[in-house]
Copies of this chain bind each other. A is one copy, B any other.
Amino acid sequence: MLKTGIIGGSGLTGRELIKILLKHGGACPSIVTSRASAGKKVSDVFPEFNTLTDLEFTDPADSSIFSAADFFFVCLPHTDAMEFVKKAHARGKKVVDLSADYRMRNTATYEKFYKTKHKYPELLKKAAYGLPELFRDEIKGSVIAANAGCHASCTILGAAPAVKKMQVEYVISDSKTGVSGAGMKPVAGSMYININENNTPYNVGFKHRHAPEITEVLKRSTGKSVKLILTPQLIPVDRGMLATIYIKLKKSVTLEKAKKAYCDFYAGEPFVRFPENISMRNVQNTNFIDIKVEDSGRKDILLVIAAFDNLLKGASGNAVQNMNLMMGFEETQGLL
């Protein structure tokens, strides 16, 4: 049984990781850290784990952390994650980092969007971008997987086949997310009275931190540059993400060819589905991404809809998928 550590595990991604790892079979959570909740039982903070685990939160300053686990999931805020990954790597531990710190190789972009200098640029080269559908082989051989951002992976997976196989001018992604994407911190924007019965776009255009992640990763994965407009939007649901993606083509493609290109691109992928009907509900609490290529009414614009659970395929489920690849488990273990 692989002993895993969840660093900064008292948030929503930590909670999902615990849930998955308790049932994984090949890996288990052996240590979960939290500065704020150190000493408390996991089941006191997340009562749904009552009777299911006796784990307690450990202080992240505790020196025993690295001896307690052989694989780490890092759920720390960015820059904190940067340090932990460095330390874990120095001790020969493999990690999946759910923060943004090792996602982008362009440190200038990182510094512009995250307002902090990247201290370990040499480590960036060792970090695979943790999106198995596009970087599977790289992830298998890597010691660090930088787990993809939620808006990023939804739009990347929705656009990649077109960008790779067609001539794309630009991509517009209208990306609706559930509120869990904002985490557990009590801020005005996450309060019920501000979310319920509402729909709010935020950081639109090219302002959201996942925007440069999308363009860099699409370039890295397909070799082609694309322009992007990203319109993240909050809607009143707990979990789920659905992006309507408009892909402007320099050269028109028929709907049939486009559909075939997408199916071929993802042939054999265990977590990519092409359903007749697409909606958030169908993917909630699963690790699937559903993709539908729609008739936009115009041959030069492809309308692609992509949907997944932002906490699973968009975060913790994808993180375990990465771990499975890095540690030689069946890729789908614990995720079906």
Spell out A's residues near B (CB within 8 Å): 12, 44, 47-48, 50-52, 170, 172, 174, 176, 178-180, 184, 186-188, 190-201, 204-207, 211, 227-229, 231, 233, 235-240, 242, 244, 246, 273, 275-286, 288, 290, 294-298, 301, 303, 305, 307, 336
Residues on B with beta carbons closer than 8 Å to the beta carbon of A200: 278-280
Q: Are A48 and B201 in contact (CB under 8 A)?
A: no
Q: How far is the CA of A16 from the CA of B99 in the complex (A)?
A: 35
Q: How far is the CB of A278 from chain B (nearest CB, A)?
A: 7
In-complex Cβ contact of A236 among B236, B277, B288 (8 A): B236
- A44-B276, A184-B193, A198-B240 provided; 19 other pairs, C-beta below 8 A? A50-B273, A50-B282, A52-B336, A174-B174, A174-B231, A184-B191, A193-B238, A196-B196, A197-B238, A198-B279, A198-B281, A199-B279, A200-B280, A205-B295, A205-B296, A211-B297, A227-B298, A235-B235, A235-B236
Residues on B with beta carbons closer than 8 Å to the beta carbon of A295: 204-205, 207
Chain B CB within 10 A, most for which of A170, A228, A298: A298
In-complex Cβ contact of A195 among B192, B199, B277, B283 (8 A): B192
**Quick one: given A47-B275, A193-B190, are A199 and B298 in contact (CB under 8 Å)?**
no
Q: How far is the CA of A275 from the CA of B48 in the complex (A)?
A: 9
In-complex Cβ contact of A294 among B174, B195, B205, B246 (8 A): B205
Residues on B with beta carbons closer than 8 Å to the beta carbon of A285: 285
Residues on B with beta carbons closer than 8 Å to the beta carbon of A242: 199, 201
Q: Are B298 and A229 in contact (CB under 8 A)?
A: yes
Residues on B with beta carbons closer than 8 Å to the beta carbon of A199: 176, 235, 237, 240, 242, 279-280, 307
